[in-house]
Amino acid sequence: MKTLIVDEKNSNKKIDRYITAVMPDLPFSIIQKTFRKKDVKVNGVRVKQDYIVAPGDKIELYITDTLLEETVQRNADRQDKGFEPVYEDDNIIIVNKKQGIPVHPDKDQPSGTLIDNIRKYLKENNISIAGTSSFQPMLCHRLDRNTGGLVLAAKNQESLDILLEKIETREIKKFYLCMVKGKPDKNSAILKAFLFKDESKSRVYINNNKTPGSLEIITKYKLISYDAKHDISKLEVELVTGRTHQIRAHLAYIGHPVIGDGKYGSNTVNRPLGAKRQALWAYKLEFDFKDAGKLNYLKSRTFEVKPEFKVL
């Protein structure tokens, strides 16, 4: 919860405009949602958006501290490009994405996304884009907003077509490191289940049996280490299929949620650890091309970064 005391300078205006003025990092969409949920009180009484604030008014916003902290961090992330280049040539660029930035525009952030910033970076650095002048660099796969790590982008249409095919045929493999609650029964396993995506809730659901609209998911994991004192495991995870929220939802489904994950994890676990962001990083890409045409020079290449999440 956030408490505000109205000062003389910002008084005599509608309450939603007052909140925007004193909390510029808070998106107006969140402010509107808070009013819709009737989670705004003035002097202990719920009010609507047209309430005119007066000096000394005590405003209480029932917004979670986690959301407020993420909003501040998200806006800080927007001040830089949100990534570091890892590898680059005339055809592709691989970047290490920071947590907190979406890969593509969404309703909460229509600009300043990863693909926007990659295009801006290439333009500002006068990096030529092979192929037609009309082609805009495009991402070959996605990461969740709060998942950091390696993202691959193509600089021309021919490279994009090749890379998408290689991802489909699993000649490009994606590996993640994560910290999870508990210790899995097996040191390594291939998990299979079915995933249903509920667009209205921006959430996915896992089931062992096929249900209408669900898609098969396959997730491999290997135990790297186990901290018995805190009951936390470090896992390497390979995505065989690449569905929305697959790793987070699948590991939570088997009883081992990712530390710091507020959606599929547990706040009772995350809070004592001070984990405000999910401990999940796309840390390695393996290229194992059979025949990749103009990209054959990338055959048998591996790109790896060190995860930046912190736990304990």
Going residue by residue through the chain, which has 312 residues, state the pLDDT in tens, using 9 for 90 and above: 889 999 888 789 899 888 887 887 677 768 888 898 899 999 999 999 999 999 999 999 988 766 666 665 555 544 568 999 999 999 999 999 999 899 988 767 777 899 999 999 888 876 555 444 578 999 999 999 999 999 999 999 999 999 999 999 999 999 999 999 999 999 999 999 999 999 888 899 999 999 999 999 999 999 999 999 999 999 999 999 999 999 999 999 999 999 999 999 988 899 888 888 899 999 999 999 999 999 999 999 999 999 988 776
Please say whether the structural domain 2-63 has been given the CATH code 3.10.290.10: yes
**10-to-61, 200, 277, 303 alpha-carbon distances in Å:** 17, 37, 34, 52
What's the CATH code, domain 75-304?
A: 3.30.2350.10
**What is the rounded CA–CA span in Å between residue 155 and residue 193?**
35
Q: Say what the pLDDT of residue 9 is.
A: 80
The pTM of the whole model exceeds 0.75: no
Phi and psi torsions of 83, nearest 5°: -160, 165
Nearest CA-CA partner of 97 in 311, 305, 312, 310: 305
Please say if 16 is a catalytic residue.
Answer: no
Phi and psi torsions of 118, nearest 5°: -65, -45
Q: Is 224 helix (H, G, I), strand (E, B) or coil?
A: strand
Q: Say what the pLDDT of residue 138 is.
A: 96
Nearest CA-CA partner of 283 in 307, 258, 248: 307
Helix ranges (H only) for the chain are 15-22, 28-36, 65-77, 114-124, 157-168, 246-253, 267-273
Q: Which two tokens mark 136?
A: 């805009």
Q: Which two tokens mark 176?
A: 């993640």
Which distant-in-sequence residues (6+ apart) come within 8 Å of 143 by Cβ?
97, 103, 149, 151, 282
Q: Domain ranges in the chain?
A: 2-63, 75-304
Q: Is 96 helix (H, G, I), strand (E, B) or coil?
A: strand
Instruction: Quote the Cα angle for 161-163-165, to 5°.
Output: 70
Q: Say what the pLDDT of residue 127 is.
A: 58
Q: Which two tokens mark 42?
A: 């003035």
Which distant-in-sequence residues (6+ apart) come within 8 Å of 76 by Cβ?
none
Among 16, 57, 116, 144, the one annotated catalytic:
144
Q: Say what the pLDDT of residue 72 is.
A: 58
